Amino acid sequence: MASTETAERSGKLSRARIIEIAFDHFAANGYRGASLAKIAAEVGLSQPGLLHHFPNKATLFKSVLLERDTRDLQAVGMEVNKIAELDVEQLLDFFEGLVRHNADNRNMVQLAHLTAAEATGPDHPAHDWVVLRTSYFRDLCASAVQNGIDSGRVRKGVNPRTVATMLIAASEGLENQWLVDPSVDLAGEFAEFAAMLRRDLAPVKRKS
């Protein structure tokens, strides 16, 4: 029994180590450019040894993407499905916190952007991850904006889906500029955008 538990712990540690090393390789080279042989060598395994834990490159890559999303949400203390329960002010705070976190984690941002660029075709193993993740996240954010409309904190006539799309586009667009030019103040520029959006979404005050 003890030997079985030890083996299980060892297996989990090995998988975690592989994911950690693979994270850096996929972030630097993308899915197509990353080499299983190089990942295995850095971990200290043979390639067959690595494939004992992950049967193929696509499976390892998907595990890395899952780890990336888990780290993102843990950093801001948010369960993804809870985003739909936020009001619009909390949503903007969430985005600002996420962007600040990303500004300190270049590899995580680079991994997401390389993956999105590579995965436009349906044959890429992360195609569904990119499409479904973006669509689901947009729907959750739109629900939060709708909460703001329903509570009277957001002016009438605002399209929740448009606001959600703009938030995602602004954060990812700034990230892309920052990856190319690190002098871009990622967190600061997004905070300015969020402030403008707050002003635009505020209910119109009637003149007395």
Q: pLDDT of 97-149, one tens digit each?
A: 999 999 999 999 999 999 999 999 999 999 999 999 899 999 999 999 999 99
- Rounded Cα distance between 136 and 100, Å, is 22
3-state secondary structure of 45: coil
pTM of the model: 0.84
- How confident is the chain (208 residues) per 10-residue block, as mean pLDDT? 44 82 95 95 93 94 92 86 93 95 94 93 92 93 96 94 97 97 97 97 76
CATH 1.10.3470 describes domain 61-201: no
pLDDT at residue 176, as a whole number? 96
Structure-token pair, residue 137? 């996240």
Where exactly are the structural domains of the chain? Answer: 61-201
User: CA torsion sign, 87 to 93 to 97 to 103?
Assistant: positive
- Rounded Cα distance between 163 and 143, Å, is 10
